[in-house]
């Protein structure tokens, strides 16, 4: 492991071998010939967009999915040549960058389609596009009952190549009936286009939840995100699906203090010691993405033992009550991850904060260094 030098001892450890393992696990669940697009938007869910994408490219990933042109450019400037789909809408002013950098664009309306076609003509290129269909998300995309006529219209633009068509599930983890209705609507649209002589090569709907739970949503391309990072779309799947956690969040003890019974700890005096004890201070806080909602609720691992976070999590520091344990300055502390056969999962943090694992990993600030294993 090449450990970059940094002074503040708080870091995130990313195991790229786990990314490769999760890719293989998901790939085995797909029918032969089904392609995979990895969602690497939001800095690969906080894991590092360039490093994760390069590992996935080594594994043979077919496509990378980003949320903006800027994210696609970070990949291109980082030397990633894998096809990239911008899953977000784009403005007309983005068209030149899209064409020049071979970014596949999502088409959601006629005006941006025409603009992209014009720029592609200037550069004498065929710009690849995927048409976004709204089957019930109510966000981006052409309504499914208007989509066939819209696609016929886009086919008239000579400098665009319609490579794909896709939709998005808003509730695959909570509403099976609605998700199945979306799959049926999307299938009907694909059949209607075929009857009209329009064969679009790539058809995709499946996020991580659908890859694992809705086989008829796979079509010929899937686009997992969460599962590639070893995270579970449903809590009850934790430990039941062979996904390897990719991210560990660690810090070190920077200060210890013997504190008498009856002393208050941190802002707002929300915690008072019940007996003579030792309080240790960690150089990590909500400014790093260790959420304030974890105050007086979270647990950390030190020497493989579990200790409670006490008092309010501060912007840059957090306190832990270690009782009379032999904990010293410099000892490693695991906030998320494994230590001596004990584990704190991202899902545990999400449960405490009453949110989803996606948000927990995206919270982790850019000021927290990332260390990559098994590059």
Q: Residue for token digits 């590092």?
A: 48
Q: Concatenated DSSP letters for 51-105?
A: HHHHHHHHHT--EEEESSHHHHHHHHHTT--S-EEE-S---GGGHHHHHHTTPEE
Using DSSP, state whether 112 is helix, strand or coil. Answer: helix
Rg (CA), the chain: 24
Active-site residue set:
41, 267
Cα separation, 39 vs 64, in Å, equals: 6
Burial of 325 (0-12, 13-18, 19+ CB in 10 A): middle
| Length of the chain as a residue count | 375
Strand partners, 164: 130, 202
Using DSSP, state whether 273 is helix, strand or coil. Answer: coil
Q: Residue for token digits 């920077």?
A: 254
Using DSSP, state whether 129 is helix, strand or coil. Answer: strand
Cα separation, 375 vs 370, in Å, equals: 13
């Amino acid at each position: 492991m090449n450990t970059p030098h940094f002074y503040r001892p708080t870091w995130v450890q990313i195991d790229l071998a786990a990314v490769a393992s999760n890719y293989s696990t998901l790939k085995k669940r797909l029918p032969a010939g089904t392609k995979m697009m990895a969602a690497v938007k939001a800095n690969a869910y906080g894991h590092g967009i360039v490093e994760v994408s390069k590992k996935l490219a080594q594994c043979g990933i077919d496509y990378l999915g980003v949320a903006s042109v800027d994210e696609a450019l970070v990949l291109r400037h980082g030397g990633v040549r894998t096809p990239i789909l911008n899953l977000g809408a784009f403005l007309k002013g983005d068209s030149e960058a899209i064409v020049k950098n071979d970014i596949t664009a999502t088409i959601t309306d006629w005006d941006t389609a025409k603009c992209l076609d014009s720029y592609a003509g200037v550069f004498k290129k065929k710009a690849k596009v995927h048409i976004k269909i709204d089957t019930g998300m109510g966000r981006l995309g052409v309504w499914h009952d208007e989509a066939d006529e819209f696609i016929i219209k886009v086919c008239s633009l000579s400098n665009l190549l319609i490579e794909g068509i896709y939709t998005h599930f808003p509730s695959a983890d909570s509403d099976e009936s609605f998700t199945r209705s979306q799959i049926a609507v999307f299938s009907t649209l694909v059949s209607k286009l075929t009857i009209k002589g329009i064969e679009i090569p790539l058809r995709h709907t499946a996020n991580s939840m659908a890859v694992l739970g809705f086989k008829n949503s796979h079509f010929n391309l899937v686009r997992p995100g969460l599962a590639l990072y070893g995270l579970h779309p449903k809590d009850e799947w934790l430990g039941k699906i062979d996904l390897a956690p990719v991210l560990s969040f660690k810090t070190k003890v920077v200060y210890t203090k013997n504190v008498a019974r009856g002393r208050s700890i941190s802002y707002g005096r929300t915690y008072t010691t019940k007996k003579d004890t030792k309080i240790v201070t960690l150089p990590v806080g909500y400014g790093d993405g260790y959420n304030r909602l974890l105050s007086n609720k979270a647990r950390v691992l030190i020497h493989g033992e579990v200790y409670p976070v006490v008092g309010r999590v501060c912007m840059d520091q957090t306190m832990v009550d270690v009782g009379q344990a032999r904990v010293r300055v410099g000892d490693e502390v695991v906030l998320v991850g494994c230590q001596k056969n004990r584990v704190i999962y991202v899902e545990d943090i999400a449960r405490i904060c009453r949110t989803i694992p996606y948000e927990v990993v995206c919270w982790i600030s850019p000021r927290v260094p990332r260390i990559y294993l098994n590059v």
